Amino acid sequence: MRRLWLALLIVTGAFALAACSTEEEPEENGENGENGNGDPEPIETVDIYYLNDLHGAVHKDGEEMGAAYIANFLRHRIDDNPEGTFILAGGDMISGTDYADHSDGEALIHIMNAAGFDALAIGNHEFDYGQETLLEYFHPSRGIAEFPLLGANVIEEGGERPPTGIETNVIIERSGLRVGIIGTIEEGVDDVIPPSYLEGLAPFENPAPIVEGLARNMRNIFNVDIVLLLTHDRGYVNEDVEAFEEPYVDVIFNAHDHKEWTNLEGVPSIQSGYNGIYVGHVQLTLENNEIVNITMQNLTAEDDELFLSPCPEVEAIIEEYAPND
């Protein structure tokens, strides 16, 4: 099993642990990262693949690689390192094309399921089909998404936590390695979302204090080895994260302004363009579950031949949801 997660929730001003259900039980044989004694083999390399601002661009078009081709790459990479591979998205994924609009983004959720995504940070365009539709896709008991939607600073008006369907963060445990992922959205981005879609939500405020509290508890209480910040933020939050008293966050994944860059100074960070032109790759080398080296790059179709072939399952989903002319 690739995904086993727990969620940390903000409750009455404190941070508490809550378990999220999974569809499968953990493997118990030596074929899933275990040695001959039944103990998990330590993960020595973590490969994180990252997309942001896809905007529903599912079709191959010039530099835009296309969802089926990206999924082919991602699924092969999961096969190469099943316990150590994580697939993340930085928001603005499900809306932005006529194709996406035809199903109110539902097709993109199924495509992301098939590609193996582990988490999605909420972006402003996730609200394009209305808050009710979005929350239904990610409802914990009846939603269609097989990965959590994260938005730690998307808080109910007069409350202290996100509405049902949005989590503050997730902890994924594999082979003895605990990876915490906190999701946020840029302060003030609610100004570009129709007010009717934000009914019942407080204004999006600076997420840094929430991030610091969650990350501290992940490290000190829940023994998380790696903390990632997955944020639909062009980089404004990065300086605040770098100013934390302790280096609680290991890598920041940025989004929103469609830029392409990598930065290993301070808290390492990456943004991977838009519309599937790039797939970010952050590789962490571990010793005893501690990071000893980080590399990062933004990949294009020219970097790997796996981007040149489509994933049949995703092709079938794209065809199933195609508008009927």
Give, in order, the Cα–Cα distances in Å from 270 to each of 90, 190, 203: 11, 23, 26
Q: What is the domain extent for residue 83?
A: 43-320
In a domain, 37, yes or no: no
Give, in order, the Cα–Cα distances in Å from 4 to each of 20, 148, 175, 195: 9, 12, 11, 35
In a domain, 228, yes or no: yes
Helices (H) and strands (E) in the chain, counts: 7, 14
Q: Mutual orientation of helices 67-80 and 106-115 as an angle, nearest 10°?
A: 30
Q: What is the mean pLDDT of residues 138-149?
A: 98
Q: What is the mean pLDDT of residues 71-99?
A: 98
In a domain, 26, yes or no: no
pLDDT digits (tens, 9 = 90+) for 226-265: 999 999 999 999 999 999 999 999 999 999 999 999 999 9
In a domain, 245, yes or no: yes
Contact status, residue 145 vs residue 118, Cβ threshold 8 Å: no
| pLDDT surpasses 50 at 297 | yes
pTM of the model: 0.90
In a domain, 283, yes or no: yes
Contact status, residue 87 vs residue 49, Cβ threshold 8 Å: yes
Give, in order, the Cα–Cα distances in Å from 176 to each of 80, 87, 229, 287: 19, 19, 21, 13
In a domain, 293, yes or no: yes
Contact status, residue 248 vs residue 227, Cβ threshold 8 Å: yes
pLDDT value at residue 15: 36
- The structural domain count of the chain equals 1
* 49: CATH: 3.60.21.10
pLDDT digits (tens, 9 = 90+) for 89-101: 999 999 999 999 9
In a domain, 4, yes or no: no
Contact status, residue 200 vs residue 157, Cβ threshold 8 Å: yes
In a domain, 101, yes or no: yes
